Chain A
Amino acid sequence: MRSRWSYVYFAFYLLLGVVLLFLNNDLSKAVITLMNVIIVLVPLIGTIFGVMYYYNSQEFTELLLAQPIKRSSIFLGQYLGVALSLSMSLILGLGIPFVFYGLFESSAIWDFSLLLITGTFLTLIFTALAFNIALSNENKIKGFGYAILLWLFLAVIYDGLFLMTLIFFEDYPLDKVSLIGTMLNPIDLSRTLILLKLDISALLGYTGAVFKQFFGTSFGLIVSFVMLTVWVVMPVLRIIFKSKKKDF
């Protein structure tokens, strides 16, 4: 079950990569288009696969729990199994067409690598969040609902709220606030990171300049990656903590 779906996912990215390259006929432009897809789709797939996998393997988990294996190894193993196979599908599926197109001789290689790195981070983050939701909800429908809501919130609603706040408080200096607001949402963070790397920050106006000052430096880059890592580590720790206390 798991392997079949990750092949489908892999094939999807393969196709997406080929089509984008064919249509754009240019590596950097294809990277930009890809970014828009990855930023929204990767978290969604991570969330859905995470929840689905957890609920599907519940019976198997119960079987394993009676065996002499540590609980944390069972759940971390499951988490890594899903998250890593999804990441592999992403990296290979997009990587193969781009490499054939001549990625290594082009200047877009760093942008592309950044895209894959953030994509992998997003997969790890959202699969972990999905596992957390599934662990806390015995009811499958509820679990699925919360997981989708979480994705919707971080991918769409958060941006809206963020924008509204900015408009509402437009008389105040907002660069710090918007910077922090961006840091707190992994999707926004990844998006800004890639946009700025792609050097199209001029599109972002004044805020873009502030962002450029921050994210453009190596300090900003490091802080962003630390934030993304925190976003992975926190839910994973909660998986371990929660799984130790759960009754089966």
Chain B
Amino acid sequence: MVTIENLHKKFGKNQVLSGVDLSISEGGIFAVLGPNGSGKTTLIKSVLGMVIPDKGTITVLGENIKKNSEYRHKIDYLPQIANFPSNLRVKELIKMIKDLRKPTNEDERLIDLFKLKPFLDKKLGNLSGGTKQKVNLVLTFMFDSPLVILDEPTTGLDPISLIRLKDLIKAEKAKGKTILITSHIMSFVEEISDEIVFILEGKIYFKGTIQKLKTKTNQPDFEHAIASILTDNHA
């Protein structure tokens, strides 16, 4: 599905990714974890072509992504912070993105699901953080793409929306999609992900199931397993 070979990226003097090798197979939920500033977002943005890597190759569904934009038809991306043009209305934004990609009717179901009907005529600049995130989710999930990338999907969501989001992600997985998630909420990751990828200092430190991580670190629960990696490497 996604293959990353020897990926390097530097921002100024700050080496963010130094030789990431990762291959993600088709189907299932993969969580990308790591401390703040470890390069999770950079990795994801490289896959999307928003960040141009210094070195290394990335292939998505067999296509090399360099100098290519067509492959993005097969990716749904949820950005970390929902930065929308503040003078647009929710309805206009949804329509515009549909015009850019392809017609879909999924949006109505998602608008109902997240109870966004009363906000459709409001301007995006006037929405609360959580509501913006819901709009963000609608925009992401309304296209039926085989690869879904979610950068911190839980930010600002209330408990009910969080449950709905989990159901939504599980439903997408059931359709056989590949889903990449980054999150700092360990309980969320533990509940939904099949495999985790742990990034530390610009490299892949661990890749495998949660069970494997627990045995590797000798910790009984997931949160402590992650914490032990961090303390071992920073102490």
Interface residues of A (CB under 8 A from B): 1, 57, 59-60, 62-71, 244-248
> CB distance A70 to B69 under 8 Å?
yes
Cα distance A62–B71 when bound, in Å? 17
Task: For A70, list chain B residues within 8 Å (CB).
Answer: 69
Task: For A68, list chain B residues within 8 Å (CB).
Answer: 69-73, 100-101
Cα distance A69–B79 when bound, in Å? 17
- Contact digits for B72-94, partner A, Cβ 8 Å, 1 yes 0 no: 11010101000111010000000
In the complex, chain B residues 48-63 whose Cβ is within 8 Å of any chain A Cβ: 48-52
New A-B contacts (5) at CB < 8 Å, excluding given A247-B45, A247-B50: A68-B100, A69-B72, A69-B100, A70-B69, A248-B51
Interface status of B230 (Cβ within 8 A of chain A): no
Task: For B79, list chain A residues within 8 Å (CB).
Answer: 62-63, 66
Nearest A-chain residue to B49, judged by Cβ: A65
- Contact digits for B167-201, partner A, Cβ 8 Å, 1 yes 0 no: 00000000000000000000000000000000000
Closest CB in chain B relative to A1 CB, distance in Å? 6
Cα distance A62–B83 when bound, in Å? 8
Nearest B-chain residue to A72, judged by Cβ: B69
Task: For B45, list chain A residues within 8 Å (CB).
Answer: 247-248
> CB distance A69 to B83 under 8 Å?
no
Nearest B-chain residue to A66, judged by Cβ: B77
> CB distance A63 to B83 under 8 Å?
yes
Interface status of B127 (Cβ within 8 A of chain A): no
> CB distance A66 to B48 under 8 Å?
yes
Nearest A-chain residue to B75, judged by Cβ: A66
Interface residues of B (CB under 8 A from A): 11, 45, 48-52, 69-73, 75, 77, 79, 83-85, 87, 97, 100-101
Return the contact of B52 from the options A59, A63, A247 (Cβ within 8 A).
A247
> CB distance A66 to B72 under 8 Å?
yes
Complex A-B: 8 CB contacts under 8 Å: A1-B87, A59-B83, A62-B50, A65-B50, A66-B48, A68-B69, A68-B101, A247-B45
A-B pairs with lowest CB-CB distance, top 4? A59-B83, A68-B72, A66-B77, A60-B85
Cα distance A246–B75 when bound, in Å? 21
Cα distance A213–B67 when bound, in Å? 49
Task: For A245, list chain B residues within 8 Å (CB).
Answer: 52
> CB distance B69 to A247 under 8 Å?
no
Nearest B-chain residue to A247, judged by Cβ: B51
> CB distance A63 to B84 under 8 Å?
yes
Nearest A-chain residue to B72, judged by Cβ: A68
Known interface pairs A59-B83, A62-B79, A69-B69; A248-B100 also in contact (CB < 8 Å): no
Task: For B97, list chain A residues within 8 Å (CB).
Answer: 63, 67
Nearest A-chain residue to B87, judged by Cβ: A1
Cα distance A70–B71 when bound, in Å? 11
> CB distance A71 to B69 under 8 Å?
yes
Closest CB in chain B relative to A174 CB, distance in Å? 46
Nearest A-chain residue to B9, judged by Cβ: A247
Cα distance A110–B65 when bound, in Å? 51
Nearest A-chain residue to B73, judged by Cβ: A68
Return the contact of A248 from the options B50, B70, B85 (Cβ within 8 A).
B50
Closest CB in chain A relative to B109 CB, distance in Å? 21
Closest CB in chain A relative to B179 CB, distance in Å? 16
Task: For B48, list chain A residues within 8 Å (CB).
Answer: 65-66
> CB distance A66 to B100 under 8 Å?
no
Task: For B11, list chain A residues within 8 Å (CB).
Answer: 247
Task: For B75, list chain A residues within 8 Å (CB).
Answer: 66
Nearest B-chain residue to A245, judged by Cβ: B52
Cα distance A102–B40 when bound, in Å? 65
Cα distance A61–B87 when bound, in Å? 14
Closest CB in chain B relative to A177 CB, distance in Å? 42
> CB distance B84 to A60 under 8 Å?
yes
Nearest B-chain residue to A57, judged by Cβ: B85
Closest CB in chain B relative to A68 CB, distance in Å? 4
Cα distance A244–B66 when bound, in Å? 11
Task: For B71, list chain A residues within 8 Å (CB).
Answer: 68
Return the contact of B85 from the options A59, A65, A246 (Cβ within 8 A).
A59
Task: For B101, list chain A residues within 8 Å (CB).
Answer: 67-68
Task: For A57, list chain B residues within 8 Å (CB).
Answer: 85
Cα distance A66–B151 when bound, in Å? 13
Closest CB in chain B relative to A80 CB, distance in Å? 17
Cα distance A182–B161 when bound, in Å? 64
Closest CB in chain A relative to B73 CB, distance in Å? 4
